[in-house]
Chain A
Amino acid sequence: MGYPTSTDGTYTIVSLTGEVDLHCSPEAKKQILGLLGENKDVLIDLSAVEYIDSSAIASLVEALRMAKANQVKFGLVSVSTPAMKVLQLARLDKVFSIKDSVSDYTGKDG
């Protein structure tokens, strides 16, 4: 099991979907941290997230810290409105790298 991933250039993109809460976030964390442990650049696609809770956000925070420690890139992309509200509540909207689409990271066109 796990969330769907795709690659674009050096980035591996994990797409979180639906409701990401206490029950799902441990798997998501394992998956994301696993990828970072392999020194991959990781982006999290939040466009399909309807609901995300603090445990999932905390997992993203851990991922960011690990990325910095391993000197790989980590960012959020296409953050849905519900997810953005939660990030703002936790005052993390300025902490994460947040962009509208993957190409904003890869620098490629469309």
Chain B
Amino acid sequence: MNPTSNPPVIEINNLVAGYGGREILHGVNLTVNEGEIFVIMGGSGSGKTTLLRHILGLNTPTSGSVSVLGKNITHASRKELYELRKQFGVAFQSGALFGSMTVGENVQLPLREHSRLDDATIGIMTRMKLEMLNLAGFEDLMPSELSGGMLKRAGLARAVIMDPKLLFFDEPSAGLDPIVSAALDESILMLREAMRMSIVVVTHELESAFRIADRIMILFQGSVAITGTPEEVRNCDDERVQDFLNRRSVEEQLEPDEYLRRLTGHIQ
């Protein structure tokens, strides 16, 4: 299956957005097709988390449009937005589990709220997802008893418990060791295969991105530097992209007098 020829599930046109007077995204265009794994990358301050928040409808744009599953979310009512979100699964960076519930209760929360399945079925579904993410037996523990990596996986279990059409993953590899990270990537690929999910991943980890992405978008200070297949991105001749791929920091021109003044504290 070639996902790039499928209908789009996310369409963003000329998105301009920011916080309290500061513009973070300067006209971003983005399309994600059905069944695609789309990776958004960039350094800190590139605006990738802001972009994700806009796709989820958590933030409102200054201008531009955001359409998800055919619905324009900037003009959607709260009810429409909630209906749409029932088809989302979102895995947050730190897991975002609720401390007052057990891991199992956290993972099954969407089912309890939005489905009429009985307890037995919900229980099996919860355990199935925990097993899939190597969290078997952790059902009755509290989030405070889990390590950071486990919390992330539990958060992912919650995100996929309802087999959503759209899965969003914010920094899946951050804080995980390479083996666990690779296993997580495998799970993401399997989910897409079996459940026909469209997946959006925000990350800064290069290995992970190139391992799973159908297409990659690299943001640089709120603008799109490139959107393309991993091959296209690797061969891109934009200096910023190459710097990012090779993990080179942008070198500032050093002005000796200015530098001296800064060091000795004599700035005007």
Question: A59 contacts which chain B residues (CB < 8 A)?
Answer: 121
Kindly provide the distance from the CB of B241 to the nearest chain A CB, expressed in whole angstroms.
Answer: 34
Closest to B123 in A: A58
Q: Mark B149-164, 1 if CB is under 8 A from A, else 0.
A: 0000000000001110
Secondary structure call for the B interface? helix
Secondary structure call for the A interface? helix
Chain A stretch 42-78: residues in CB contact (< 8 A) with chain B: 51, 53-55, 57-59, 61-62
- Could you tell me if B121 and A90 are in contact, using CB atoms closer than 8 angstroms? no
Given contacts A55-B125, A57-B128, A62-B124, contact A89 B196 (CB under 8 A): no
Q: Mark A7-41, 1 if CB is under 8 A from B, else 0.
A: 00000000000000110011001000000000000
- Could you tell me if B128 and A86 are in contact, using CB atoms closer than 8 angstroms? no
The complex places the Cα of A55 from the Cα of B129 at a distance, in Å, of: 11
The answer to whether the Cβ of B267 comes within 8 Å of any Cβ in the partner chain is no
- Could you tell me if A90 and B132 are in contact, using CB atoms closer than 8 angstroms? yes
Chain B stretch 121-161: residues in CB contact (< 8 A) with chain A: 121, 124-125, 128-129, 131-132, 161
Closest to A84 in B: B194
Question: B118 contacts which chain A residues (CB < 8 A)?
Answer: 26
- Could you tell me if A51 and B196 are in contact, using CB atoms closer than 8 angstroms? yes
Give the A-B contact count at a CB cut-off of 8 A.
Answer: 53
- Could you tell me if A53 and B195 are in contact, using CB atoms closer than 8 angstroms? yes
Question: A29 contacts which chain B residues (CB < 8 A)?
Answer: 121
Closest to B121 in A: A58
Question: A55 contacts which chain B residues (CB < 8 A)?
Answer: 115, 117, 121, 125
Closest to B161 in A: A54
Q: Mark B100-120, 1 if CB is under 8 A from A, else 0.
A: 000000000000000111101
Question: B interface, how many residues as a size bin?
Answer: 20 to 34
- Could you tell me if B196 and A54 are in contact, using CB atoms closer than 8 angstroms? no
Question: A26 contacts which chain B residues (CB < 8 A)?
Answer: 116-118, 121
The complex places the Cα of A90 from the Cα of B128 at a distance, in Å, of: 6
Which of B124, B125, B162, B194 has a CB less than 8 Å from the CB of A89?
Answer: B194
Given contacts A54-B161, A61-B124, contact A88 B194 (CB under 8 A): yes
- Could you tell me if A25 and B132 are in contact, using CB atoms closer than 8 angstroms? no
Question: A51 contacts which chain B residues (CB < 8 A)?
Answer: 196
- Could you tell me if A22 and B115 are in contact, using CB atoms closer than 8 angstroms? yes
Chain B stretch 40-69: residues in CB contact (< 8 A) with chain A: none
Q: Mark A73-110, 1 if CB is under 8 A from B, else 0.
A: 00000000010011011110000000000000000000
Residues of A within 8 A of B (CB): 21-22, 25-26, 29, 51, 53-55, 57-59, 61-62, 82, 85-86, 88-91
23 pairs, A vs B, C-beta closer than 8 Å: A22-B115, A22-B162, A25-B117, A25-B121, A26-B116, A26-B117, A29-B121, A54-B125, A54-B129, A55-B125, A58-B128, A59-B121, A61-B124, A62-B120, A85-B193, A85-B194, A86-B195, A89-B190, A89-B193, A89-B194, A89-B195, A90-B128, A91-B132
Identify 16 new A-B residue pairs, CB closer than 8 A, beyond the known A26-B116, A82-B194.
A22-B117, A22-B162, A25-B121, A55-B117, A55-B121, A55-B125, A58-B125, A58-B128, A62-B120, A62-B124, A85-B194, A88-B194, A89-B132, A89-B190, A89-B191, A90-B128
Q: Which 9 A-B pairs have the closest CB atoms?
A: A58-B124, A85-B194, A89-B194, A53-B163, A58-B125, A58-B121, A86-B194, A54-B125, A90-B128
